[in-house]
Amino acid sequence: MARRRGGGRGGRRGGRSRTENRQKGNETTQDSIRTEGVVLEARPNTTFLVQLDAGPEILAHVGGKMRRHYIRILPGDRVVVEISTYDPEKGRIVYRK
C-alpha cells in the first residue's frame, strides 16, 4: 500500500486581475539569481518546496505572471526559480518546464 505524500495539487487560486502596465521589462533584476530545480512538495498558500539542482531546498511562491496564465505546478515538475540575493531561502517560480 502506497504512502500518501503531503501536498497534492497546488496553485489552485485564481489569477489576480492586475493591470498589465506595471514597470516595463522582466521581473528579473540584478538582485535575483535564476536557477532550476524540482518541486518536492506543495505547501500552504500556493508556495512550494523546491529542490534546487545545486542542492538546497527553498520555499518558492508562484510568480504573478504564471498565476495570471493559470499555469499549474505539481510536485515533480522542473521549474525555473528566481532567488532573491537578500534571502537565499525564498524564491519565485517563473517558469514550468
Partner 1 sequence: MILKRPSEIEAMADAAVINREALEAVEAALAPGVTTAELNAVAEEVILRSGGRPAFKGYRGFPATLCTSVNEVVVHGIPDERPLSEGDIVSIDVGTFYKGYAADMAKTYAVGEIPDATRRLLDATERSLYAGIERARPGNRLGDVSAAIQDVVEEAGMWVVREFVGHGIGREFHEGPDVPNFGRAGTGPVLRPGLVLAIEPMVALTRTAVIVLDDGWTAPTENGAPAAHFEHTVAVTEDGPRILTAKETMAQTAQGGHDGA
Query: By the criterion CB under 8 A, which residues form the site for partner 1?
Result: 1-5, 7-9, 38, 51, 53, 74-76
Distance CA 50, CA 7 (A): 13
Q: Nearer Cβ to partner 1, position 9 or 34?
A: 9
Q: Nearer Cβ to partner 1, position 7 or 64?
A: 7
CB of 92 to partner 1, least distance (A): 22
Cell of 39: 518541486
Q: What stretch of H or E contains 79? A: strand 78-84
CB of 4 to partner 1, least distance (A): 6
Q: Nearer Cβ to partner 1, position 32 or 57?
A: 57
Q: Specify whether the CB–CB gap between 59 and 89 falls below 8 A.
A: yes
CB of 61 to partner 1, least distance (A): 19
Nearest to 61 by CA among 78, 81, 75, 87: 81
